[in-house]
Structure 1
Amino acid sequence: MKSFQHALVAVALLLWANASHGAGPVAADDAQGNRAADLEAMLARYADAAKQFYDGRSGAVKALWSHADDVTLSGAAGGETAKGWRNVSMRLDWASAQFSRGSKQVELIQKTVSGDLAYVVQYEHILFFPPGKNTQSRRDYRVTTVFRREAAGWRVVHRHADMQMAREAIR
């Protein structure tokens, strides 16, 4: 639970920092509307790319990430947070190789666009076959994804996913 709360605090700080550095939390209605529409198109491309990702092919998802040195990935399989495009790229390759014949359903919790930053919070439900196995598996993730508008359009700059779907008391 703490990691998810930390991710939400980080997103809030990113949006605040973006607003306080001239982009402003409320852009002109038409500019903000265009950004929101562009983000919707990006989310549709990301959904299409996820079909390949959960079939063991990471290339289409990787194409939607920023390739900058400030990208980060905290994957649902645990481990250290990958920092920088080289490390994130390798982590995405590794993660995608854990799946075959997969599909993903998304439950959107929150979507926010503020200037050149945006984020989505969602539940992802993955059905897949582990490579070499004939038994289907399921993973349910809580996910926060942060996007930044770059010259090529919206790109993923951070993703945090975990499997802590059940609330547990701290003991």
Structure 2
Amino acid sequence: MSEREDFMAWVGSRLKDAETALHNGDAAPRFAIWSRREPVTVLGAWMSGSGTEDVGNIFRQLEASFSECTSYTHEVIAADVIGDMAYTVGYEHTSASVNGEPRDYTLRVTQVYRREDGEWKVAHRHADTLAQPDKPQDA
């Protein structure tokens, strides 16, 4: 298996499992795949922060907000591995409750990863809400 194939298998398993768990109110798997080495950053759709303390606080707030994930898919548009660095660009499609209210939404997401002690870790996440097309106006 090539490095890229190995990385994409990790994205489709550990990363996907961690994101699904977070959307079910459990941030522990996400903490496990995130780097604890500076710099780490989140420029999120709802919250942003820099440094392990800020990032940890964001994860705990998200954990408290999310529940009842019925669907999570990560549609990767582009990805590559260059040495001990990698990135993904794509869309996350999620159906989960946010603060007790069922929601369906899509985020545009770019993430940067680095290999630490032989394992992939997320070092940066940028996400924003994909704008929904305007609804047709009644004539």
SS in 1 for 2:34: coil
2:137 aligned residue: none
**Which residue identity does 1:98 align to in structure 2?**
S
1:52-131 → structure 2 map (5 Å cutoff): 52-78=21-47, 81-102=48-69, 103-131=71-99
SS in 1 for 2:16: helix
Is residue 116 of structure 2 the alignment partner of residue 153 of structure 1? no
How far does residue 58 in structure 1 lie from its aligned partner after superposition?
A: 0.5
Question: Going by fraction, where is helix more abundant, 1 or 2?
Answer: 1
| Aligned-partner Cα distance in 2 for 1:107–1:48 | 14
SS in 2 for 1:120: strand
Which stretches of structure 1, 4 residues or longer, exceed 3 Å deviation after superposition?
164-167
| Structure-2-length-normalised TM-score | 0.85
**Which residue identity does 1:90 align to in structure 2?**
N
SS in 1 for 2:36: coil
Q: 1:107 to 1:151 in 2, by over 3 A?
A: same
**Which residue identity does 1:42 align to in structure 2?**
W
**Which residue identity does 1:154 align to in structure 2?**
W
Aligned residues: 131
1:48 aligned residue: 17
SS in 1 for 2:33: coil
What is the alpha-carbon root mean square deviation over aligned residues? 1.9
Gaps of at least 5 residues in structure 1 are: 1-29
Question: Would the aligned equivalents of 1:147 and 1:155 in 2 still touch at CA under 8 Å?
Answer: yes
| Aligned-partner Cα distance in 2 for 1:62–1:107 | 22
Q: 1:106 to 1:93 in 2, by over 3 A?
A: same
1:21 aligned residue: none
Question: Going by fraction, where is strand more abundant, 1 or 2?
Answer: 2
SS in 2 for 1:97: helix
| Aligned-partner Cα distance in 1 for 2:118–2:54 | 21
